[in-house]
Structure 1
C-alpha cells in the first residue's frame, strides 16, 4: 500500500483537534488495510516503528536529518537549518524546501508503507565504521523519492515528532470502532502487550476472542498498576475490608522478567535498564527460581543501611560508563511487592494470593534482596497500620501503600484498589511547555517554568508557573534542555516541546482563570526532574480536579 495514503490520513488528523473525528478517521482507514499493513500502521500512526517497550530506536539526530534533506533537495545544510528555524519544525521546513527542489530522481517509484517501515527499522541496526554515511544513504533513498508531504511526515517520524495529536487512547478507540470490539477488551490487550501492531492485527484477524487470549509474556513489559492519593486510614481501610499495607520506598519501580535463561529489567516507563544493573541481574539469578516469572518491586540506593534520595538511584540507572565504579559508590537494594507471572499469568488472581506466591519464591537470605515490609489491615487494627506508617517514615521511606486484598493486577490504570499514604505534601508529575528567562545574573537561565497536565485528548493544559526549588546546577541543566526543545522565543518567554517532566510539590489547588485548566497551585516547588517518566506518564487534568474536589 502506498505511503501517500497514510500521509493523507496524517494530514486529516493534523487538521482537526476533535477526538471523535480523529478516532473516526483512523477507524475508517484501518478497515481498508490487510493484515501485514495494519501491523505496521498500528505503530506508524503513533509516529514510531517499535513498540513502546522496545530498547530499539531509530537513533537519528536532527542534524543528520537536516543533512539528508539538504542532499535530497539539492541545497545546503545551512539552508535547511534556516528553514527549520523559520518554520519551527523539520516537517514544515520540508514543505518549503521541496517546493524548490532542484534534484531529480530518475526511475523512482512511489513509496510504500512496507518500504518506509522496513527502512526506518533498518536505521536502528546500523552501527560501527562509516555508520553515518550508511544511515544517510538509507535516508536519501527515502527522501529522494518522497513528495513534499511524504517528506514532512517521514522526517517527523524519524525525529519522533509526528505532531498529529494522536495518543494511545485514540488508537485504542479506533481499533475498537473499526472491528466492533468493546473498548475495554482492546485496552486490556494493549496494556498486556504494549504493542499496537499486535493488537491491531489480532483485532482484524480474530476479533474480540483473539484479543481476550492475549496475555502476559515474560520478556514483554506490562504497564504498571498505578496508585492514587489515600484518604484517612480510618476511612479507606474499613471500606476495603481487607487491605495489604506495605512500605512505600523512594526508588525506581522495577519490573523484572525471566524468560528461559534471560533476565530483563524495566522501569515504569518500560525502559530496559538491565545493562545498568548487572549486580541486580545476578541477585535475581541467584535468589529467584529459574522459572519464567514477572515480579515487581522497588530498587533503592543505600548508604550505611539507610535509603538515599531518589536522585541517587536515578543517576545510577542512567549511567552508561564506569558501571563497576558506580556499583561500589551507590549500593542498591531491591524490595519486591508483587508477582504478575510465575509459570503462568497471575494478574487475575487476588492480590493476597499473589503475595503468597511471591513470598514462596523469593530467597531473602541476603541483605540486597527483600520483600516489602507488610501488614494485613482491617477495621480492627488501624493503629498498627499507623505505626507501620510512622516506622516507614522514620526509616527514611515515603510512607505506605494501601492495597485491596481482593484486587487483581490492573495494568496501566489508576484507581481505588491501590492507594498511597504519604507524609510529604502531595505532588503532581507535570510537563514543561514553556518558561521565562531570569534577569540580572540569571539572565542566561530559564528561571520559571510553565507546567501543564494532560487532558482527555492527551493535549497539555497549563496549570502553574514554578521557579522555586532549583539550584544553579539544575537551572543550567534545564535551560540546556529547554534550548534543545525550543519551538519559539519571544522576549524573555520561551515555548518548548512537551518533553520535560517535573515533580511539583504544592500546598493547595486553587481556581485561577490565568491558566488553561482554570486552576493553579499555591506555593509550587520543583521537587525532582522525573527523567524516569515520559510526558504520557504525567498526571492528568482529571486527577487535578479529583484532588481539588477531595481537598475542598
Structure 2
C-alpha cells in the first residue's frame, strides 16, 4: 500500500500530463504483479468493492471522533477520504496484525467481505496504515479518485511502459479481468495475446472535434444529425453479443432487447435511445424520445417487463467497424456507409435503423437546417470527412460535431455547496430556481461549470456574505442574485417540485444587472419542454 499511496499523493500534486504519465510508468516498472494490476484497476475505475460504502466509512469515523467535528472538518476539507484519513485516531490497543499491507492483500480482503464483516475488517486495516495509506485505501474503496487521471491516461501510461500501441491496449482491456496478469505477461513478451479472435472485445470509438467558427466543404464532408442518446458499440462474435458504452463499460444487461436482436456477426457504432411513447414524447410515430426517457433505464442491471414495454430501446446506427470477421476500419467513410446500409438491412427494423444523412447543397443551407432543429432527440449535426478511415480517438480534420445553440434562462441562486478537489474551499455548486405564478421560487437545476476562477471567488464571497440558513454542508442564500443558465434541453420531471429538469445546465453569465424579481418563470420553462 505504501508505494500505491505515494503514487496517488504524487499524482494529486502533479499538474503536467507528461509528468503524470512518468509517475505511472515508473510505478508499473517498479511494482510486481498483482499489485500493479490492481493499481491499474483503481486508476481506470474497474475495481468494485461492493462491501464498502460511503455510509459505512462515515459510521466508522463517527464512532471514533465527535460527529460534529467530523461534519465541520468534512465541510472544510471537501473530501471524505482525506478527512477520515487525517482524523482517524491511533488505536488504543495495538492491532493484532502488524507489518505493511500490500495492495493485493487489501483488495483480496475487502473484495470478499459480507456486509456484516465489512466494518470490522475495514477498521482493522485503517488501524494498521499511515494517513497517506488510509487516504489511498478509502479513495480506492469509494471509487471516486478525483486525482486528475482519466482511464485513458492510465492506459496510455501502460502502453508507454511496455512500448505498446494504446489502441491495442484499449482493444484488449475489456476482455480481461483485473489484475490483468495475462495482459502484463503479453506486454513483457512472456505470454500469448490474451484475448482470442472469437471474444467480443471493445474497440475504441472514433471521436469528433467541436466545429468552432468554421465552415467545411460539403463536397468533402457528409452531414448527419447528432442524436441525443448514449453512444454504443454493438459486438457479435461466436454467438455472443455485447453492448459497450463510450467508456468501454459492458451495458448488455441494461438493454437485453437490443442484445437479443443483434445476432449477425460484426461490430457497429451507433446511438442508443428509447422510442417515443403513445403520448407523443418522440420525434414521430416510433421515433426517438428525449434523453430524459432513456435516463430511466441507464445503470439498471435488471430491467422489468414494464420498463421494457414502456421505454423500448433501439439503436440508430452511425458506422460499421467489422462486417463479420472483415475489419473495415481502414476503409473510407463512403465505403463503410454503403456497407453499413447493407448490413442494417439484415437486422430487425424494430431495434435498428441508420442515421439519415442531411441533404444540403451548401454550408449556408446546412446552417439554416441546423438552426431550425429543436427536436427532443437531436443534439446537433455531425460532419464526417468522406474519405476518413475509422480512427480511434480524436483526429483533427476528420469528424466534427456541431452542437445546436443552447437555450438560456435567467434563474435565481437559492442554495450553494462546496465543491470537490481544488474547489473544496469554495462554494462552487449552485442550486437555482425560477418563479411560479404565485410568486414562489422553485428549484429548476444545479450547476457548477461555466465560470472562471475569478467568478467562482466572487460567487463564493456572495454566498458567505448572504447566507440565511445552513442545512449540513448546504447554505441557503438571500434570493437576490440572478444567474443566466445555458442548457441543452428541458424535460418534464416527476422528481422535482417544479416539474421540469434541465439537461447539461451550466452558468453562462452572472447577471448582477438584473433584479431577482425579473428572473424567468417555471411556466416559461415549461413552454420549452420537448
Instruction: Answer yes or no: same fold by TM over 0.5.
Output: yes
Give the secondary-structure state (helix, strand or coil) at the position aligned to 1:281: helix
Alignment equivalent of 1:435, drawn from 429, 434, 437: 429
Asked if the contact 1:245/1:375 (under 8 Å) is kept, the reply is: yes
Aligned to 2:140: 157
Q: How does 1:526-537 map to 2 (within 5 A)?
A: 527=489
Partners of 1:394 and 1:116 in 2: how far apart? 51
Aligned to 2:109: 119
Alignment equivalent of 1:32, drawn from 12, 30, 33: 30
Tell me the TM-score normalised to structure 2 length. 0.66
Partners of 1:106 and 1:34 in 2: how far apart? 27
Give the secondary-structure state (helix, strand or coil) at the position aligned to 2:316: strand
Give the secondary-structure state (helix, strand or coil) at the position aligned to 1:118: helix
Aligned to 2:171: 192
Asked if the contact 1:250/1:310 (under 8 Å) is kept, the reply is: yes
| Deviation of 1:228 (Å) | 3.2
Asked if the contact 1:192/1:216 (under 8 Å) is kept, the reply is: no
Aligned to 2:270: 296
- Tell me, yes or no, if structure 1 residue 14 matches structure 2 residue 12: yes
| Deviation of 1:115 (Å) | 1.0
Q: How does 1:111-260 map to 2 (within 5 A)?
A: 111-122=101-112, 131-168=114-151, 170-171=153-154, 174-175=157-158, 178-179=161-162, 181=163, 186-194=165-173, 201=184, 205-206=188-189, 219-230=200-211, 235-238=216-219, 240=220, 243-260=221-238
| Deviation of 1:403 (Å) | 1.6
Asked if the contact 1:233/1:382 (under 8 Å) is kept, the reply is: no
| Deviation of 1:217 (Å) | 7.8
Alignment equivalent of 2:290, drawn from 293, 298, 309: 309
- Tell me, yes or no, if structure 1 residue 62 matches structure 2 residue 36: no
- Tell me, yes or no, if structure 1 residue 280 matches structure 2 residue 261: no
| Deviation of 1:154 (Å) | 0.5
Asked if the contact 2:216/2:363 (under 8 Å) is kept, the reply is: no
Give the secondary-structure state (helix, strand or coil) at the position aligned to 1:263: strand
Aligned to 2:39: 41
Map Cα deviations across residues 6-29 of structure 1 (whole Å, 9 max, x no partner): 222323333444444433333333
Give the secondary-structure state (helix, strand or coil) at the position aligned to 1:30: helix
| Deviation of 1:214 (Å) | 8.7
Map Cα deviations across residues 435-457 of structure 1 (whole Å, 9 max, x no partner): 3456998789597633159xxxx
Cα pair distance change 1:353/1:491, threshold 3 Å: same
Q: How does 1:351-390 map to 2 (within 5 A)?
A: 351-362=333-344, 363-364=346-347, 366-374=349-357, 382=362, 386=366
Partners of 1:426 and 1:218 in 2: how far apart? 44
Aligned to 2:447: 449
Which segment drifts farther, 393-402 or 268-277? 393-402
Stretches of structure 1 that go unaligned for 5 or more consecutive residues are: 51-55, 124-130, 454-459, 468-482, 494-520, 530-537, 540-552
Partners of 2:431 and 2:382 in 1: how far apart? 39
| Deviation of 1:226 (Å) | 2.0
Aligned to 2:320: 339
| Deviation of 1:321 (Å) | 6.8
Cα pair distance change 1:216/1:384, threshold 3 Å: farther
Partners of 2:341 and 2:267 in 1: how far apart? 13
Tell me the TM-score normalised to structure 1 length. 0.64
Partners of 1:13 and 1:233 in 2: how far apart? 37
| Deviation of 1:401 (Å) | 2.7
- The structure with the greater share of residues assigned to helix is 1
- Tell me, yes or no, if structure 1 residue 23 matches structure 2 residue 21: yes
Asked if the contact 1:99/1:148 (under 8 Å) is kept, the reply is: no
Cα pair distance change 1:24/1:279, threshold 3 Å: closer
Partners of 1:57 and 1:221 in 2: how far apart? 24
Aligned to 2:240: 262
Partners of 2:350 and 2:368 in 1: how far apart? 21
Cα pair distance change 1:449/1:293, threshold 3 Å: closer
Alignment equivalent of 1:96, drawn from 86, 91, 96: 86
Asked if the contact 2:34/2:179 (under 8 Å) is kept, the reply is: no
Asked if the contact 1:249/1:300 (under 8 Å) is kept, the reply is: no
Which segment drifts farther, 440-449 or 318-327? 440-449
Cα pair distance change 1:262/1:79, threshold 3 Å: farther
Aligned to 1:471: none
Number of aligned residue pairs? 443
Map Cα deviations across residues 161-185 of structure 1 (whole Å, 9 max, x no partner): 3344333465356446645x4xxx5
Asked if the contact 1:348/1:409 (under 8 Å) is kept, the reply is: yes
Partners of 2:373 and 2:213 in 1: how far apart? 17
Partners of 2:430 and 2:377 in 1: how far apart? 35
| Deviation of 1:151 (Å) | 1.4
Asked if the contact 1:9/1:26 (under 8 Å) is kept, the reply is: yes
| Deviation of 1:133 (Å) | 0.5
Aligned to 1:470: none
Partners of 1:270 and 1:351 in 2: how far apart? 23
Asked if the contact 2:261/2:348 (under 8 Å) is kept, the reply is: no
Aligned to 1:505: none
Partners of 1:333 and 1:164 in 2: how far apart? 36
Stretches of structure 2 that go unaligned for 5 or more consecutive residues are: 278-284, 409-418, 460-470, 492-503, 506-530
Partners of 2:9 and 2:402 in 1: how far apart? 46
Partners of 1:15 and 1:234 in 2: how far apart? 40
